[in-house]
């Protein structure tokens, strides 16, 4: 059963002076109830803009076109009252747990309580419910009285997760939830998310630039580049045998422990992600692509089928006859 | 000219500084409020410098103006009217600019000089001597400025020199605190350690490394201290502590008030000196804010956002 | 907020107060080498008169002796005698404190309140005409000398339009009592109060605006919106409390300034408070009076700084020792 359907989403930021910045340039997504999708890409590829667009959280002046159908209802055309009711109760975001993601002068328990009270999910005793949520994410209930600066990065991340599931949403967007954490804590947080996903049947969109964190938690993976999806497919297939050169480069950039050949293999991607206002012609990846051929700058790419339930936006996959 | 001389460290440093300054100026030109402030300042300074050409100084002395009508409005007398003694207000305004600007700039330089020295020494040396310096600074910060300045001025007597000294030695603490904070962060930078490893003396470190890096902050702070000093001078002069021989704009307002200009509604006497003070304060504030935005990278983002 | 924090700050304030008391003495006594001589400049004094006057004003004995006597007297709140009225300084101050407290108190509160509200309005509507006009207005009032503003108001509204009384605290010809008297006093307070309020609200507006602009970029506001809160609630419950912190810090500094500003403004409106007393003491100079007033001003600023400091610690959990 389809929970989320995104059709041809475009997000364009207004710039103070100069040309507007197209951060998302036509993205389609589909997510079923309980399904988990990983969204990977470098900084600036548009993944966080995509996440913010799903709840209309972009700054005023930003142009958003397309549809975002949540259970059939288009979020982009909802009335403000309906939007505010839907936020957090149907779809919630787990933000990156930096120090200023939480209000520095409010106790974390009160910040969770605020969401419960707003959507009347306290069940009569908000304090008790807050305690239960904290324990759910592995924190003692009395930590509700703490201020954000008194918690470690990992603890803050857990608070954000507890806050996100407080109103029992069906879809969770995790935006770089493990990026600022060290490896041990990363593993704990990932395990927590997996447990919650299983227990509550949550659909999750897991956004990250670190492909390796998606290995266990997501059933499907989408890779974004320059505001568009470059490749989409089942987790194991995308990891083992990526169809798009960019995905291959992303996967190669992260070390595989125990693989002696890794050290010898050239890895890492040359160049920088393109400026959204000045994209290369044809395939936006071609200047950095090790497999670019003569037609790449001239051919507008779209997502072509690359196997069962897979697609990739690369001419090598398009099926059209090209010299290999 | 040998290549060696052209690329000497001194020469390179100065070229870099020149380029930084011209870069900053280019940015400043785009800052509308800053340019407006600069324009006002240039106009007022020009007027003050050209005072002998613009207004006959004999108009400042009571003996020469007794034949003029007292409290004459501009429509009757011309210019900006006359005061209680028949002296033309316009003449006093033009010559008063000199005193207000002189005290403003001189007292600011004095305050910033003391403040910077104390700040750099306190930040650089730390420990006991640094702590002691900061304790003294904090005490002076707590004492309310105006009562202290009033006390000092009352004791020393009213003169331009005394005003400069009084305001200068009561306004340095906030500069000292600001500079010290900056020096503390600069002290942690790597190049200070490396320089010390090479055998640099404290003096060398302070003058060649710390001072050039703290100069932009000193400049911005100076420009923002001038308005405070000018308002302080105006208040002290208004309270009767100004130099009667060399009347600043503040003193003009004191004279006006004492002479009953308020009751007589002699607006031509009341408005110009206050307006002058207000414009100069505004101008320095605009320039100072512009400088701060250009020199402090953090504030720059907010401007673009 | 622990008792230890409060006691620590309290002790700090007491130490500063002691410093001020000591400094006060040296300021007025040590600088002046021949107080009696300069006071009675131009008059011939016989030796016995000189000795008598010196004793009367407590100027006899060595400096050290005088210092000890000064400390004893200050501890018992004996602040000497005024040179001009020969009344105890402490009494004069007691009498004149009330009007100043009323004027400065109300003006401080109003300038903080309206300045902060204007700052919030400007930040929330940034880059619109409202923002620019508020910025222009606040910059202009900040740049004006407060006493000049007083003179302008007095001349136009007071004398010119005759809307409000032009001086003093009560109408000397009336003998009203009770509520009618209070009303009369309030009417007299309008112009000086308006002057002080306008003069100092500018800085609050500027600081609040810039603080709120910084706060509005913070991530926790995004989180608050994502939770489903209305924009107004996001602003008032999350943005403003964080943005207020620098304003509270400013209030501490500003109180000293308003108090100082009151000196000139009271002079203009003949408001019978400590400011006017200072202005008149300057004419002498009435040194004991000035010394007493200096002490009172400094002590008030110290106390107010302490209150603001404690308030800030209460509002911002990050500065409390955990």
pLDDT in tens, A244-291: 888 888 777 666 555 565 555 555 677 778 888 888 888 888 888 877
User: What is the Cα–Cα distance from B156 to B162, expressed in whole angstroms?
Assistant: 7
- The more confident residue out of A140 and A237 is A140
Q: Which residues contact B84 (CB under 8 A, 6 or more apart)?
A: B70, B71, B255, B259, B261
- Give the best-scoring range by mean pLDDT among B56-60, B77-81, C135-139, C313-317: C135-139
Let me know if A238 is exposed, middle or buried by CB neighbors in 10 A (0-12, 13-18, 19+).
buried
CA distance C178 to chain B (A): 31
Backbone angles phi, psi at B143, to 5 degrees: -65, 125
User: Can you give the length of chain A in residues?
Assistant: 324
pLDDT higher than 50, residue A324: no
Contact (CB, 8 A) for B65 and B88: yes
Closest chain A residue to the Cα of C230, Cα to Cα: A84
- Prediction pTM value: 0.78
The pLDDT score that the predictor gives to residue C45 is 65
| Both structure tokens of C320 | 């409390």
pLDDT mean over A167-174: 92
Residue A118: name the closest of C224, B72, B137 by CA.
C224
Contact (CB, 8 A) for A113 and A134: no
User: Could you tell me if C214 lies within 8 Å of chain B, comparing CB atoms?
Assistant: yes
Contact (CB, 8 A) for A161 and A137: yes
Q: Using one digit for the tens of pLDDT, what is the confidence trace for A196-223?
A: 988 988 999 999 888 878 888 888 999 9
- The more confident residue out of A170 and A252 is A170
Average pLDDT score over chain A: 85
DSSP secondary structure code for residue B208 in this structure = I
Tell which phi-psi region holds residue C178, choosing left (phi > 0), alpha (psi between -120 and 50) or beta. left
Question: Which 3 state secondary structure label does DSSP give B276?
Answer: helix
Contact assignment for C214 to B302 by CB distance below 8 Å: yes
Interface of B with C (CB under 8 A): 139, 142-148, 150-152, 154-156, 227, 231, 234-235, 238-241, 250, 253, 256-257, 261-263, 265, 267, 270-271, 273-274, 277-279, 281-282, 285, 302, 305
Query: One digit per residue, pLDDT tens: chain B, 305 residues?
Result: 455 555 787 788 788 878 878 887 887 888 888 888 899 999 999 988 888 887 777 777 777 767 777 777 777 777 778 888 888 888 888 888 989 999 999 999 999 999 988 888 888 777 777 777 877 887 787 777 777 887 777 777 778 888 888 888 888 888 888 888 888 877 777 777 777 778 777 777 777 777 878 888 888 888 888 998 999 899 889 988 888 888 889 999 999 998 888 888 888 889 999 999 999 999 998 888 888 777 765 555 444 43
Backbone angles phi, psi at A268, to 5 degrees: 85, 145
pLDDT over 90 percentage in chain C: 15
Alpha carbons within 13 angstroms on the beta-carbon side of residue A8 total 2
| Both structure tokens of A19 | 């040309």
User: What is the Cα–Cα distance from A247 to A238, expressed in whole angstroms?
Assistant: 8
Alpha carbons within 13 angstroms on the beta-carbon side of residue B46 total 6
Number of neighbouring beta carbons within 10 Å of residue B48: 19
pLDDT mean over A33-56: 88
| Both structure tokens of A78 | 């909802």
Q: In what order do the strands lie in the sheet with A91-94?
A: A91-94, A171-175, A203-208, A36-40, A220-225, A228-234, A311-312, A304-305
Closest partner CB to A88 (pick from C227, C241, C315): C227
Contact assignment for C219 to A84 by CB distance below 8 Å: no
Query: Which chains have at least 3 CB atom pairs separated by less than 8 Å from chain C?
Result: A, B
User: Could you tell me if C184 lies within 8 Å of chain A, comparing CB atoms?
Assistant: no
pLDDT higher than 50, residue C18: yes
The pLDDT score that the predictor gives to residue B280 is 94
User: What is the Cα–Cα distance from A102 to A90, expressed in whole angstroms?
Assistant: 21
DSSP secondary structure code for residue B88 in this structure = B
Residue C107: name the closest of C290, C285, C265 by CA.
C265
Residue with tokens 């005793």: A125
Backbone angles phi, psi at C134, to 5 degrees: -65, -45
pLDDT higher than 70, residue C299: yes
The pLDDT score that the predictor gives to residue A21 is 87
User: Could you tell me if C154 lies within 8 Å of chain B, comparing CB atoms?
Assistant: yes
Using alpha carbons only, how large is chain C's radius of gyration in Å?
24
Taking each helix axis as running N to C, give the angle between helix C178-216 and helix C240-269, from 0 to 180 degrees, rounded to the nearest 10: 140
CA distances from B195 to A202, B190, B204, B206 (A): 58, 9, 9, 11
Contact (CB, 8 A) for C79 and C207: no
> Is the torsion defined by CA of A110, A115, A120, A122 positive or negative?
negative
CA distances from B257 to B67, B117, B263, C133 (A): 23, 40, 9, 31
Closest chain C residue to the Cα of B147, Cα to Cα: C294
User: What is the Cα–Cα distance from B226 to B285, expressed in whole angstroms?
Assistant: 8
Taking each helix axis as running N to C, give the angle between helix C178-216 and helix C146-153, from 0 to 180 degrees, rounded to the nearest 10: 130
Closest chain A residue to the Cα of C234, Cα to Cα: A103
Paired strand residues for A65? A10
pLDDT mean over C209-224: 87
Query: Which chain A residues are closer than 8 Å to C227 by Cβ?
Result: 87-88, 114-115, 118
At residue A96 the predicted structure's pLDDT band, cuts being 50, 70 and 90, is: confident
Contact assignment for A87 to C228 by CB distance below 8 Å: yes
Element containing residue A193 per DSSP (H, E): helix A183-200
- The more confident residue out of B139 and A117 is A117
Element containing residue B218 per DSSP (H, E): helix B211-236
User: What is the Cα–Cα distance from A193 to A201, expressed in whole angstroms?
Assistant: 11
The pLDDT score that the predictor gives to residue B304 is 42
pLDDT mean over C189-209: 90
Query: DSSP labels for B221-254?
Result: HHHHHHHHHHHHHHHHIIIIIS-SSS--HHHHHH
User: What is the Cα–Cα distance from C254 to C260, expressed in whole angstroms?
Assistant: 10
CA distances from A211 to A46, B170, B252, C31 (A): 16, 61, 74, 76
Paired strand residues for C137? none
CA angle A174, A179, A185 (to 5 degrees): 95
> Is the torsion defined by CA of A133, A136, A137, A143 positive or negative?
positive
CA angle B272, B274, B276 (to 5 degrees): 65
User: What is the Cα–Cα distance from C269 to C99, expressed in whole angstroms?
Assistant: 12
Residues 10-39 of chain C with CB under 8 A from chain B are: 16, 19-20, 23, 27-28, 31-32
Q: Using one digit for the tens of pLDDT, what is the confidence trace for C35-45?
A: 565 555 556 66
User: What is the Cα–Cα distance from A297 to A280, expressed in whole angstroms?
Assistant: 7
Q: What is the 3-state secondary structure (H, E, C) of chain C?
A: CCHHHHHHHHHHHHHHHHHHHHHHHHHHHHCCCCHHHHHCCCCCCCHHHHHHHHHHCCCCCCHHHHHHHHHHHHHCCCCCECCCCCCEHHHHHHHHHHHHHHHHHHHHHHHHHHHHHHHHHHHHCCCCHHHHHHHHHHHHHHHCCHHHHHHHHHHHHHHHCCCCCCCCCCCCCCCCCHHHHHHHHHHHHHHHHHHHHHHHHHHHHHHHHHHHHHHHCCHHHHHHHHCCCCHHHHHHHHHHHHHHHHHHHHHHHHHHHHHHHHHHHHHHHCCCCHHHHHHHHHHCCCHHHHHHHHHHHHHHHHHHHHHHHHHHHHHCHHHCCC
Q: Which residues contact C311 (CB under 8 A, 6 or more apart)?
A: C248
User: What is the Cα–Cα distance from B40 to B248, expressed in whole angstroms?
Assistant: 18
Contact (CB, 8 A) for A227 and A46: yes
């Amino acid at each position: 059963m389809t929970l989320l359907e995104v059709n041809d989403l475009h997000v364009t930021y207004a710039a103070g002076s100069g040309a507007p910045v197209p951060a998302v340039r036509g993205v389609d997504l589909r997510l079923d109830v309980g399904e988990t999708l990983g969204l990977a890409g470098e900084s600036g590829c548009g993944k966080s803009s995509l996440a913010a667009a799903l709840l209309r959280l972009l700054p005023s002046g930003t142009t958003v076109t397309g549809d975002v159908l949540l259970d059939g209802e288009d979020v982009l055309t909802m009335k403000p009252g309906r939007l505010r009711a839907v936020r957090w109760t149907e779809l919630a975001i787990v933000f990156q747990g930096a120090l200023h993601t939480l209000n520095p002068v409010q106790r974390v328990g009160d910040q969770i309580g605020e969401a419960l009270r707003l959507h009347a999910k306290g069940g009569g005793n908000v304090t008790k419910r807050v305690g239960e949520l904290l324990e759910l994410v592995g924190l003692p209930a009395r930590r509700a009285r703490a201020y954000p600066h008194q918690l470690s990065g990992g603890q803050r991340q857990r608070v954000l997760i507890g806050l996100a599931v407080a109103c029992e949403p069906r879809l969770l967007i995790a935006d770089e939830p493990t990026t600022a954490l060290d490896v041990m804590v990363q593993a704990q947080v990932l395990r927590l998310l997996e447990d919650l996903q299983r227990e509550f049947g949550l659909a999750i969109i897991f956004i990250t630039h670190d492909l390796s964190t998606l290995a266990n938690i997501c059933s499907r993976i989408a890779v974004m580049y320059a505001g568009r999806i470059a490749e989409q497919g089942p987790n194991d297939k995308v990891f083992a045998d990526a169809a798009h050169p960019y995905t291959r480069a992303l996967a190669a950039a992260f070390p595989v422990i125990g693989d002696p050949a890794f050290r010898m293999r050239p890895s890492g991607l040359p160049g920088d992600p393109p400026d959204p206002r000045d994209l290369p012609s044809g395939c936006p990846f071609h200047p950095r692509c090790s497999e670019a051929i003569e037609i790449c700058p001239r051919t507008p790419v779209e997502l072509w089928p690359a196997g069962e339930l897979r697609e990739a936006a690369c001419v090598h996959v398009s099926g059209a006859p090209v010299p290999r | 000219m040998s290549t060696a001389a052209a690329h000497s460290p001194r020469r390179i440093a100065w070229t870099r500084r020149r380029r930084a300054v011209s870069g900053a100026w280019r940015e400043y030109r785009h800052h509308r409020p800053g340019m407006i402030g600069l324009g006002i300042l240039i106009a007022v300074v020009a007027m003050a410098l050209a005072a002998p050409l613009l207004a006959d100084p004999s108009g400042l002395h009571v003996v020469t103006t007794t034949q003029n009508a007292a409290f004459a409005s501009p429509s009757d007398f011309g210019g900006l009217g006359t005061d209680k003694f028949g002296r033309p207000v316009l003449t006093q305004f033009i010559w008063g600019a000199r005193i207000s600007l002189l005290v403003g700039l001189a007292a600011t330089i004095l305050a910033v000089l003391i403040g910077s020295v104390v700040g750099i020494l306190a930040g650089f040396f730390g420990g006991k001597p640094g702590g002691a310096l900061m304790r003294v600074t904090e005490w002076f910060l707590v004492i309310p400025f105006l009562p202290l300045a009033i006390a000092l001025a009352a004791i020393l007597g009213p003169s331009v020199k005394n005003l400069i000294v009084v305001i200068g030695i009561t306004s340095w603490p906030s500069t000292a605190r600001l500079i010290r904070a900056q020096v503390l962060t600069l002290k942690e930078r790597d190049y200070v350690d490396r320089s010390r490893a090479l055998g640099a003396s404290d003096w060398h470190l302070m003058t060649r490394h710390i001072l050039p890096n703290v100069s932009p902050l000193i400049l911005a702070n100076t420009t923002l201290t001038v308005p405070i000093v000018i308002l302080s001078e105006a208040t002290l002069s208004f309270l009767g502590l100004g130099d009667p021989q060399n009347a600043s704009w503040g003193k003009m307002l004191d004279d006006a008030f004492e002479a009953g200009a308020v009751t007589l509604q002699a607006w031509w006497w009341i408005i110009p000196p206050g307006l002058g003070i207000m414009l100069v304060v505004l101008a320095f504030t605009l320039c100072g804010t512009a400088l701060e935005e250009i020199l402090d990278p953090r504030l720059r983002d907010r401007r673009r956002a | 907020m622990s008792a230890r924090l409060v006691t620590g700050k309290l002790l700090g304030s007491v130490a500063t107060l002691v410093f001020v008391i000591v400094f006060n003495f040296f300021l007025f006594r040590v600088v002046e080498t021949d107080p009696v001589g300069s006071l009675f400049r131009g008059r011939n004094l016989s030796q016995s008169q000189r000795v008598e006057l010196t004793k009367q004003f407590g100027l006899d004995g060595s400096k050290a002796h005088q210092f000890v006597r000064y400390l004893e007297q200050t501890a018992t709140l004996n602040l000497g005698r005024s040179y001009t009225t020969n009344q105890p300084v402490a009494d004069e101050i007691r009498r004149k404190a009330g009007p100043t407290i009323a004027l400065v108190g109300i003006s401080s509160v109003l300038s903080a309140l309206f300045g902060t509200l204007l700052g919030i309005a400007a930040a929330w509507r940034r880059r619109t005409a409202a923002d620019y006009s508020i910025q222009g207005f606040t910059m202009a009032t900040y740049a004006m000398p407060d006493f000049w503003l007083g003179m302008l108001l007095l001349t136009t509204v007071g004398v010119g339009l005759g809307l409000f009384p032009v001086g003093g605290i009560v109408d000397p010809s009336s003998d009203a009592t009770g509520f009618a008297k209070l009303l009369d006093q309030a009417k007299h307070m309008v112009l000086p109060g308006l002057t002080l309020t306008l003069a100092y609200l500018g800085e609050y507006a500027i600081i609040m605006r810039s603080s709120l602009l910084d706060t509005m970029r913070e991530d926790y506001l995004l989180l608050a919106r994502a939770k489903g809160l209305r924009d107004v609630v996001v602003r008032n419950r999350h943005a403003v409390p964080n943005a207020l912190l620098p304003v509270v810090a400013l209030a501490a500094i500003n109180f000293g300034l308003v108090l100082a500003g009151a000196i000139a403004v009271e002079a203009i409106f003949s408001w019978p408070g400590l400011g006017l007393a200072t202005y008149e003491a300057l004419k002498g100079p009435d040194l004991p009076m000035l010394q007493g007033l200096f002490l009172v001003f400094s002590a008030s600023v110290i106390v107010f700084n302490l209150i603001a400091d404690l308030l800030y610690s209460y509002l911002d959990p990050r500065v409390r020792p955990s």
